[in-house]
Amino acid sequence: MASSHQKPSAKPTDVAAKNDARKDITKTGATAQGKGTDVQQSNIGKDHGNGTTTIADQVVAKIAGLSIREIPGVYDIGGSFSRALGSVRDKMGASENVKQGINVEVGQTQAAVDLTLVAEYPYPLNEVADQVRSKIIEGIQGLVGLEVTEVNIDIADVHIPSIDEDDDDEEEVKEIEKKRERVK
């Protein structure tokens, strides 16, 4: 037996208006032009008649990076490529990039964070990840006011001090020897 209760069909203009509203709700950020580069921004402020506040995604990423700097067991942030790039930046005298290896998606009221890090041996990796996740959530919610829906952590490597430091010493010796040969 067919039901006599049918949903009334929506007018095309109603459907279009609902779709536009849905796009506004799910939008992850607006692009603003700034000195030749596009900067993703989140529109988290409410207009109280005096204007709105807009916080760039890169600011949220920087807050995440600063939040985890002093956690025991975190040796470095970023994968091998971003760390190598950071090393080059350091040698050129550029300021430290605390958001390397951190990607954020920011909506109007929520943020999601993906980060890659190098853990320090012998700290338990699951405990390091839990502390990182907790500090990022605390930092973003406290300073920005966004709800953090997820923090995905990729532990790309484990730094073993005795092994890795020996490798660095060998590389430094080789560089010094090359420089001496050039001088001769």
pLDDT of residue 68: 95
- Whose tokens are 């849905």? That residue is 22
Q: In sequence order, what are the residues at sequence separation of 6 or more whose Cβ sits closer than 8 angstroms to the Cβ of residue 114? A: 102, 103, 104, 152, 154
Cβ atoms of residues 43 and 54 within 8 Å: yes
pLDDT of residue 160: 93
pLDDT of residue 170: 66
Statement: the pTM of the whole predicted model exceeds 0.85: no
Q: Measuring CA to CA, which residue among 141, 129, 66, 138 is closest to residue 102?
A: 66
pLDDT of residue 155: 97
- Whose tokens are 């001496």? That residue is 180
pLDDT of residue 71: 97
pLDDT of residue 164: 55
Q: In sequence order, what are the residues at sequence separation of 6 or more whose Cβ sits closer than 8 angstroms to the Cβ of residue 1? A: none
| Pairing label, strands 37-42, 30-34 | antiparallel
Is CATH 3.30.70.1350 correct for 38-44+51-159?
Answer: yes
Strands (E), the chain: 30-34, 37-42, 55-56, 74-77, 102-106, 110-120, 147-159
Q: Taking phi first (over 0 means left), then psi (-120 to 50 degrees means alpha), and beta for anything else, what does residue 145 get? A: left
Cβ atoms of residues 156 and 116 within 8 Å: yes
| Pairing label, strands 110-120, 37-42 | unpaired
| For the chain, domain boundaries | 38-44+51-159
Instruction: Return per-residue pLDDT of the chain as tens, 184 residues.
Output: 544 444 444 444 444 443 443 333 333 343 333 333 334 555 566 666 788 888 899 999 999 999 999 999 999 999 754 444 444 445 555 445 566 899 999 998 999 999 999 999 999 999 999 999 999 999 999 999 999 999 999 999 999 988 655 555 567 556 656 655 655 5
pLDDT of residue 161: 87
